[in-house]
Amino acid sequence: MARTRAATTTPERPQDQADQGVNSDEPALTPARSAGGSQPPMFGGLSGSRKNVLDLDDFSKEEIEHILQSADGMNEVLSRDVRKTPTLRGKTILTLFFENSTRTRVSFEQADIDPGTEVVNMSSSARGVSTGEALLNSLRKLEAMKVDVLVMRHPHSGAPYFVASNIDAAVVNAGDGTHAHPTQALLDLYTMRRHLGDIAGKKVTIIGDLHFSRVARSDVWGLRKMGADVTVCGPPTLLPYGLRPGSERAESAAFTGIKVVDRVEEALEGADVVMTLRIQKERQDSGNLPDLREYSKLYGVNADRLALANPGALLMHPGPMNEGIEISSEVAHGAQAVIEEQVSNGVAIRMAVLYMLCARNRAGE
């Protein structure tokens, strides 16, 4: 595990870090089972132009595929007694969360496994930096630490884009408002691919609060890039505006090319993957969700409903789950659930993302 420290004030970069090099005896990053039997992806060429990971809309299928293959390699590294990823050595990674997180935050911390990597974890209230200028001033102070990668979660959609265009460090969006959560989407694609092989042509049904879901937006980008057949289903008030019945608003690009189904039973028929979304109670002030009990009755995924999907269909959830509301405890912990696997795959995916960005930076040194 990398040296990890929590910080409440602007920390200083340790003197010894700049002198740390890559040992020639470090294990090579060789995936044990890289998909398709290909060589370990080193992101040569692909990473050359990518400074940030803000959403999957600007990823090509090829680039997503390389990250998924690299995550295979990272899982192999994680299984070793000595865990080292040479490219992360000597790098400084700052995780900055302005909103609660358990899974994402911990998996980024676990992803920084090299003892030569400096990891600084900070939390803050978004209230203290409620204007773009205040946020930028804070981040410029942090930049004095010579941060290589900033992993950032923020309640305001677009905040990581603003930051990325104003600082030199690479930025990874760890969830911004209701907009995007690209590393969650990558770990979801990775989990699907490990079970189903090629995702192209597979029916993926996403159920629930799509209006407020940054996970769903990024998932749909990724799934469409990989050629999946995406169906969405939820209460009309929790669908993105352009997908609501009778809406004259154009749908945002994130949700084009998908099928919208009113009845959950129909949406589940023939599904290879069933993804239930968390009802985000903290985002329901606008009254889009009048009644939790009714939601659960009409849209909750239980054993009877899951049986409508293809035999052995995967059941997924980004977490944290509201058991008994969007998902029954029986299926959440049943044989078809891969929800814990999603969490553990998050470490390998985040390692792959950090590795990609640091490899790019190192190439530019």
Give the interface with ligand CP as residue ranges (CB under 6 A). Answer: 101-105, 175, 181, 184, 318-320
> Closest separation between CB of residue 363 and ligand CP, Å?
30
Q: Considering the complex, state which of residue 105 and residue 203 has its C-beta at the smaller distance from ligand CP.
A: 105
| Residue of minimal Cβ distance to ligand CP | 104
Q: Which is nearer to ligand CP, 260 or 279 (CB)?
A: 279
Q: How far is the CB of 263 from ligand CP (least distance, A)?
A: 27
Q: What distance in Å separates the CA atoms of residue 214 and residue 210, rounded to the nearest whole number? A: 8
Cβ distance 204 to 272 under 8 Å?
Answer: yes
CB of 9 to ligand CP, least distance (A): 24
Q: Which amino acid is at 238?
A: L
Tokens of 336: 């078809």
- Nearest-approach distance from CB 159 to ligand CP, in angstroms: 16
Write down the least CB distance from residue 207 to ligand CP, Å: 16
Question: Which is nearer to ligand CP, 135 or 321 (by Cβ)?
Answer: 321
Token pair listed for 23: 């040992």
